[in-house]
Structure 1
């Protein structure tokens, strides 16, 4: 979904900008999908009476709502990330991606905390429904609409002027996407490969970490019931609560790391400097000399990405030997440090590369007018567009070196700017983020099939229900821990791919 939306947004000539219309429509569909998911039964009940037919239709509508959510939220994500690439110069690409990572971590943290409150008790039924899930969907939809609204109002986006190749069919878009994906520039291809192996490594952690914490507790620390007493407590709910605690700590560490790391890691604009920034005079000489040495050891983002993959591998490779709730919680929480870099590095590096490909000197246009842009906050009228087109045709449309240039012509008449393809390249990066999930699912399926094949199918009827799905054999290997171990190996491969990416500098 993201490459397709990105491709259409790249070609958009809407008076309201290239990204905002898609982002706003995607946010509206996402919010309505959330509300429909919360009130599916009530919505279906308007048309069908109680019975099996209503139950089946309710399930179908809920599933379709999830599909609509998955598609529409990808449109929001693609366009919001593209806005960072479009509007910021090279020197601020890393900072923009860092802020996106910070706010993403803050959103996760706030979301986990909101979920821990009894919203049904805090708010009346008329405010968000009568269940916890309904109130959560209302909060999510409102927050999404507010933040997208503020972004659409605040960002000064460029409007793309019409060109000869604007009319493209879905088939042409897909063909161009395939060609673009299979013929990526070397550095962008390297970034995508690091992202691929990085996400193969992260997949088991993101999907199974909370279950891993609860299973470690029940396997090694939970006391067995007295003989003759049936264990009827809510094991599934308890595992969820134990896992949620570790995820809250994970999100808190991610947020703190996202705030601190941008001040430690060198920005792209400083990468080629031959001098060390001078510390303030008020500092003592010893402190000044210490700061000067610290500046010289300041890593760049590629190096930080490489070390974050090695750190994640070092942490998760120990999973098979974790046998206490405390150590499992520490393992999950500490992964917040490398996760902060993984949420930041690929987008920051890709934004820099897209801008570099558009950072040549402004070229004068000879012959027919080429698509260009004009900066606006909300919209432009037809007269302004005509004036801008005339300026391009006469070669007077000067573009600043510090900003992204959209579709200007080189001296040889060929398109030298790929800035207009920001949505496509970010969509391709998303493909390299999505494919590892299929790989990770396949690997996990093999591991679970080998280590836990029908492990508790022959239990007696008096055994508690959770014994049928929860492995309590202390001497047997923990399947989730093995999945984390395999993920650690893939993260080492990602670190090597990042090292090779750095050699391309």
Structure 2
């Protein structure tokens, strides 16, 4: 769905901008669904009488709200936020913009884990809900809506004004057709970036999905006394131990997100020599530091190798400390993985836009603050002088909206000029759809990873009772922890094997990233 939303957003001529309406509406949908998730039982109780039916309906409502949150946050809000970075920043700042997005995400993770680790009801009372989960949904909803509103207010997004009726009236069939053509005929470098992301996420998925359970299970399997393993709240203890490791992981991710971008060359940066104004010794030192700074492609490749080198040791981990150390160490490559592919995509999308802008321009842009007048005095000033008819433009190929703006943004200007200036920075004319395709290459590995995990668990840990189910223990009705959690110290750990397979996939991703430099 994300590429489809991207196509619609790319061609949106809303006076509020291409991304802003989707971001704002999507954030309110997410907030509403979070509240529905937290108060599912109370909402259902208003309409359904007590009994088994109410319980089943509550489960259905909660599950549907989870799906709605996932769709709105990932396919609409997050996709448009990433596209907004591509649209508004010039090529030299694409890496910095993606790095800041990674930093904000890391801060959000830390705040989320901090909220989950304290007694919210004891601190704030029941004003925001009578349970920890309800209060977390309220805080999450308010934080998302506030952040999106601040972004929407602060960013001067340009409004798309199409000069062709063919670009104004687009049916579902044409949108799907363009989506299919774009996905099948990706530019070579964008396709290479997507495949590197594909192999990387086969490795990252089991880590992100199973790391908390892996940490807690390692403790109970190899270190915890037998009396501790027999406690009734073993599942909760596994979650707490795993969450602590994720707090450390997120802290390392945040620190790396802040520091690493300063040590990595921007995709469009060139290693420059310094002027002789400072002392000669300082000049030599600065030149050496500049020389050892890797470019973004090298840094992304190193992050794959670092993740692989870390997870290769997963099957050999026998202690809580070492397992937590491995999880925390992965925070460094994860920080790079959160910004590198998006920075690469931003550069390539803008580069394609600059190349195409030298051929012909079919639309113009005005600042959103002047959007209310775009159909009056401002529009005729920006229509490019072209003798091409709509039919001739259609016969050239897919309808592409040309979106260009100057490198130096003059916010007081009512209109944007120099539409054909290839030296100017161009907004991503297909940012939404290309980032949506990247999301497809991020999502498909999750299916692959789930299939691999199913095979591994079926072989190494078959027929285990799920948490909360009663085991066959002679009629006592009590669950034994070793019925659902593998406490056998002699056999292999299925989760660790999945992580090891992910490390092998990360090596393939490293090779795919290395080949980026040869793709033109």
Tell me, yes or no, if the aligned pair for 2:363 and 2:403 is still in contact at 8 Å: no
Return closer, same or farther for 1:252/1:460 CA change in 2, 3 Å cut-off.
Answer: farther
Name the SS of the counterpart of 1:343 in structure 2.
helix
Deviation at 1:168, TM superposition (A): 2.1
CA shift for structure 1 position 349: 0.4
Structure 1's unaligned 5+ residue stretches are 412-416
Matches of 2:18 and 2:428, distance apart in 1 = 12
Q: Deviations over 1:4-43 (max 9, x none)?
A: 1111000100000000001111011000000011111111
- Distance, in Å, in 2 between the alignment partners of 1:464 and 1:58 is 26
2:294 aligned with 1:294, yes or no? no
Q: 1:209 to 1:343 in 2, by over 3 A?
A: same
Q: 1:405-461 deviations in whole A, cap 9, x for unaligned?
A: 99x9989xxxxx893211000000000000000000000000000101125776666
**Residue 400 (structure 1) shift:** 4.7
2:463 corresponding residue in structure 1: 454
The CA deviation at 1:125 is: 1.1
Is the alpha carbon distance of 1:173 and 1:289 closer, same or farther for their aligned partners in structure 2, counting shifts above 3 Å?
same
**Aligned pairs (5 A) from 1:351-390:** 351-360=346-355, 370-377=362-369, 380-382=371-373, 386-390=377-381
CA 98–383 in structure 1, closer or farther in 2 if over 3 Å, else same: closer
SS in 1 for 2:429: helix
How many Å apart are 1:189 and its aligned residue? Answer: 0.2
Contact in 2 for aligned 1:89/1:403 (Cα 8 Å): no
Kindly provide the CA deviation profile for residues 61-95 of structure 1, in whole angstroms up to 9, marking residues without a partner as x.
11111121111112001110000000000011110
User: Shift in Å at residue 278 of structure 1?
Assistant: 4.7
Matches within 5 A, 1:410-449: 419-449=428-458
Query: What is aligned with 1:414?
Result: none
Instruction: Report SS of the residue matched to 1:160.
Output: strand
Q: In the TM superposition, what is the alpha-carbon distance from 1:277 to its structure 2 partner? A: 3.8
Q: Does 1:316 align with 2:311?
A: yes
The equivalent position to 2:205 in structure 1, one of 199, 203, 206, is 203
Where in structure 1 do 4 or more consecutive aligned residues deviate above 4 Å? Answer: 360-365, 383-386, 397-401, 403-406, 408-411, 455-464
Residue aligned with 1:5, SS: helix
Q: Considering only aligned residues, what root-mean-square deviation do their CA atoms show, in Å? A: 2.7
Contact residue 354 and residue 422 of structure 1 kept, 8 A: yes
In structure 2, the residue corresponding to 1:374 is in which secondary structure? Answer: strand
- SS of residue paired to 1:250: helix
CA distance in structure 1 between the partners assigned to 2:43 and 2:479 by the alignment = 37
Instruction: Assess if the C-alpha contact under 8 Å between 1:276 and 1:296 holds in 2.
Output: no
Cα distance change of structure 1 residues 429 and 491 upon mapping to structure 2, 3 Å threshold:
same
When normalised by structure 1's length, the TM-score is: 0.91
Matches within 5 A, 1:395-414: 400=405, 402=407
Counterpart of 1:10? 10
Aligned equivalents of 1:77, 1:450: Cα separation in 2 = 37
- 8 Å contact kept, 1:231–1:464: no
Q: Residue 391 of structure 2 aligns with which residue?
A: none
The whole-number CA distance in structure 1 between the counterparts of 2:274 and 2:189 is 29
SS at structure 2 position matched to 1:161 = strand
Q: Does the 8 Å CA contact 2:99/2:339 hold for their aligned counterparts?
A: yes
Q: Post-superposition shift, 1:390?
A: 4.0
- After superposition, where does 1:7-86 map in structure 2 within 5 Å? 7-73=7-73, 74-86=75-87
Deviation of 1:362 after TM superposition, in Å, equals 6.0
- Shift in alpha-carbon separation, 1:199–1:361, aligned structure 2, 3 A: closer
5 Å-filtered alignment, 1:482-497, equals 482-497=497-512
TM-score, structure 2 length as denominator? 0.88
Is the Cα contact below 8 Å between 1:357 and 1:418 reproduced in 2?
no
Q: Secondary structure at the match of 2:182?
A: helix
Cα distance change of structure 1 residues 46 and 176 upon mapping to structure 2, 3 Å threshold:
same
Native 8 Å contact 2:199 2:445 kept in 1 = yes
By how many angstroms is 1:502 displaced? 2.0
Unaligned runs of 5+ in 2: 387-401, 410-414, 466-470
Distance change (3 Å), C-alpha of 1:278 and 1:460: farther
